[in-house]
Amino acid sequence: MATTSGRKPGIFAIRDVGTLITETTEEGHGLKKAVGASQLTAMGVGAIIGTGIFVVIGEGAGIAGPAVILSFVLAAVACAFSALSYAELASSIPVSGSAYTYTYATLGEIVAWIIGWDLILEYGVSVAAIAVGWGGNLNAFLDSAFGVALPDAIAKSPEDGGIFNLPAVFIVLAITLLLVRGVTESARVNFVMVIIKLSVLLFFIVVAFVNFGTGNFQPFAPAGVNGVTAATAIIFFAYIGFDAVSTGSEEARNPSRDLPLAIIGSLIICTIFYVLTAVGALGIASPDQMKESDAPLAAALDQGAGISWAAGVLALGAVVAITSVVLVIMYGQTRIFFAMCRDGLLPERLATVNQRYGTPARLTIGLGILIAILAALVPLSEIVKLVNIGTLFAFVLVNIGVIILRRTRPDMPRPYRVPWSPVLPILGVLFAVYLMTDLPIDTWIRFVVWLVIGVAIYFLYGYRNSRVRKEAMAGRQPDGPAAPTQPEDGEPR
């Protein structure tokens, strides 16, 4: 059936920004506005600071030597371009869905579906893999603090010689129940965990600087510029997570002000802690000492400062750090899935918001169970690499989205604007593409296969059940009341 314009929206139909925002107030489909700037910033820090800084610094130092400090700075700069683009779109389109929603408003439905399908894999696999890591760090903490450990049969997946990973199942289900209970409660718990893990890093920094020496800084860059850039490609992934803040757009009390502050602020805070930690670690331990340890920060304190009991403190910090990452990334997963269901591209009944808790409880429980099964039984060592390519792919589209919206919707309110656009968004695209080209071919093959499966599902289900298309068949405009600069028929430009 035709719309009032006489045309049925195609696969590149674009959602009107005003209509997207209006839908968040609909009965049973709007999320509770309950978080402020400090809680959103804590979400960003919670998602970024995980095992990365506790582990990856050793690998980076082994490649670049003391110049790994520059690698941390370069990785932050590479993320900053995309963070600025996320900040503009999050403040302008304060709707759940992050990169999926932004793409729907700029590049059209089929591209939005592809990035949404990509993010489902990225976040789901990421949560499962992080939960497995949580179990390993829990055992490390129990061993260093109390001399006990869980038996392998219930602490490892079949891939690693166990039966199932009970700690991973426990943390996923515990976080699921917390997310069902409410975003306010989840944000408060995350805030406490962020304070704890920053305190652990601060403890390390203080002890390191008290015992600081300059002997380990020579030679500063033994592998030259190539070593710095190679280490940057590894360090980069210690920063991933700030994009999860944008998934909370719809639940922010003042999104136009708070979201840019939280996205950019969390990246700045983590960069400062990362650089200080790297400098402190090199002040008490050599790159060789750190690269040979699975716990480089604990090794630095033990061998450099003579504090053997520090391993327990850092192991506790790692457990808390990973817990908050599971919480924030799983929160992001549920909000992206929720947005896709509300748009009809996935079963719309799953987008129902629980009236008591103000959360998509049914959807959250379902995803929690699936992720718990994945974490308990499925080999993750290879598919976890898809997290990296999925994240970078999202970065590319978000940066492109800023450029397109600047041209197609120049009058749209933008509480925050990326400076020097389109130069900075283009740099964001180039950095992401460069890092994507460094990923192995097997990762690319798995990524393409996943996207092909997603496109098949879109044409079999999403295309026919899309909210845009249902409204068109009912004789309404596919994108609702259009803004003055938006084409009335919702067709691609």
The full 3-state SS of 193-262, as one line of letters, equals HHHHHHHHHHHHHHHHHHCCCCHHHCCCCCCHHHHHHHHHHHHHHHCCCHHHHHHHHHHECCHHHHHHHH
Vertex 330: Cα angle to 325 and 335 (nearest 5): 130
Full-model pTM? 0.85
63 assigned to some structural domain: yes
Burial of 37 (0-12, 13-18, 19+ CB in 10 A): middle
User: Residue 5 falls within a domain, yes or no?
Assistant: no
Residue at 336 is within a domain: yes
Structural domain for 264, as ranges:
34-447
Query: Does the residue 491 lie in any domain?
Result: no
Residue 425 forms part of a structural domain: yes
| The pLDDT value given to residue 5 | 41
Tell me how many domains the chain contains: 1
State residue 90 phi and psi, 5-degree precision: -65, -40
pLDDT of residue 53: 78
User: Residue 382's pLDDT is what?
Assistant: 64
How far is residue 389's CA from residue 234's CA, in Å, rounded to a whole number?
13
**pLDDT reported for residue 30:** 65
Structural domain includes residue 420:
yes
End-to-end CA gap in the chain: 22
Is 61 among the domain residues?
yes
pLDDT for 255 equals 87
Half-sphere exposure of 147 (CA within 13 A, CB side): 0
Q: Which of 355, 358, 341 has the alpha carbon at shortest distance from 467?
A: 341
**Does the residue 464 lie in any domain?**
no
Q: Identify the residue whose tokens are 């210690």.
A: 238
Token pair 């997570």 is found at: 241
Burial class (CB in 10 A: 0-12, 13-18, 19+), 214: exposed
For residue 217, give the CATH number of its domain.
1.20.1740.10
pLDDT in tens, the chain (493 residues): 333 344 567 888 888 777 777 776 665 556 778 788 899 999 999 999 886 777 778 888 889 999 999 999 998 998 999 999 999 999 888 888 888 999 998 889 999 999 999 998 888 888 888 888 888 778 878 887 788 888 888 888 777 788 888 999 999 999 999 999 988 899 999 999 999 999 999 999 999 999 888 888 988 999 899 899 888 878 887 787 888 888 888 888 888 889 999 999 999 999 999 999 999 999 998 888 888 776 788 888 877 777 877 777 888 888 898 899 999 999 999 999 999 999 999 998 888 888 888 889 999 999 999 999 988 887 776 667 678 788 889 999 999 999 999 998 888 889 999 999 999 999 999 988 988 887 788 889 989 999 999 999 999 999 999 988 887 777 654 444 333 333 334 433 3
pLDDT value of position 143: 80
